[in-house]
A = this chain, B = another copy of it.
Amino acid sequence: MATTGVMRPGHIQLRVLDLDESVAFYKDVLGLVETGRDAAGRVYFKAWDERDHNSVILRQADRAGVDLIGFKVKDKATLEQLDKDLQAYGVATERIPAGELLETGERVRFTIPTGHVMELYAEKTDVGNGQPYTNPDPWIAASEHGIAPHRFDHCLLYGPNLEENLKLFTEVLGFHLVERVLLEDGKSLLATFISCSHKAHDLAFVAHPEPGKLHHLSFLLDSWEKVLRAADIMSMNRVSIDIGPTRHGITRGSTIYAFDPSGNRFETFCGGYETYPDHAPITWTFDEVGAGIFYHDRKLNERFLTVVT
């Protein structure tokens, strides 16, 4: 089968400091669609063009950051097989019962070498993208409410053990390495960009001493003009922009980094090439990491390596 195993990042649970303020931000500024609230007080969102019930889940907490990231796998048989594969590889897994997240099936949870909690799941209710499955239009009013990305697309995570982490994702979970950044020694990994699909990245990691940190979660727009529109909306709403509009050398995407009200960095981006597992990975040397991250400025800003949640 052409697409099997892990399909895509499906949900992310974020910690926010003030739930009301955050809900307003994710709904009216970022332009996600609220799809539910659960007994634990969590608020569920999806991007307008996503079909599954939820992709971003907000949880009020004392500090910002990411609780967990879930990947949708092809089907329940795949879920069982991947659980076995993880255990066989030496990764401890845990089952979270169906329904613990709204409209979401049973999840297999585990911690990756960078210290982040990952989940696999096979089922999340299809609530549609606001369009019928018969004779749909290409877009709807919701696609112009706030920034209104098409989907939650990927994350960049900070933590230790990048080599070990890459091995887990490529040898067990079916990802392939698309791009990587090397440290001064020309060998060790500063960053990896990996894909379980044809996207230039479904996940990315940067080496960092503290485990389990979030650099950014990212949302897909469909044009560079929509990136400008996103920046304008950020300014109108006094959203703190980290950098952008600009381009990444890595993946070629054009992008903005900004911060949600709790200080979680998010990205709204478009573009980037498509990758296949037969493509040789691209390597960035340490002296060119600036151009790799921010192609126009060709240097990192101080925040890139230090500000995470």
Contacts and interface: CB of A to CB of B under 8 A. Distances in A.
Interface residues of A, number: 71
Interface string A83-117: 00000000000000000000000000000000000
A149 interface: no
B126 A282 contact: no
Interface in A226-245: 228, 231-232, 234-236, 238, 241, 244-245
A31 to B, nearest CB: 12
Interface string A280-292: 1111110010011
A224 B228 contact: yes
Interface string A58-78: 000000000000001010000
A277 B7 CA distance: 9
Contacts of A197: 2-3, 197-198
Contact of A282 (B1, B8, B136, B175): B136
Interface string A157-188: 00000000000000001111000000000000
B135 A291 contact: yes
Given A74-B277, A225-B224, A235-B295, A3 B198 contact: yes
Interface in A246-298: 246-247, 249, 252, 254, 256, 271, 273-274, 276-285, 288, 291-292, 295-298
A196 interface: yes
A302 to B, nearest CB: 14
19 contacts: A1-B277, A2-B4, A2-B7, A3-B174, A3-B176, A4-B5, A7-B278, A134-B284, A135-B249, A135-B283, A137-B236, A138-B295, A139-B252, A144-B144, A150-B273, A223-B223, A224-B228, A228-B247, A235-B298
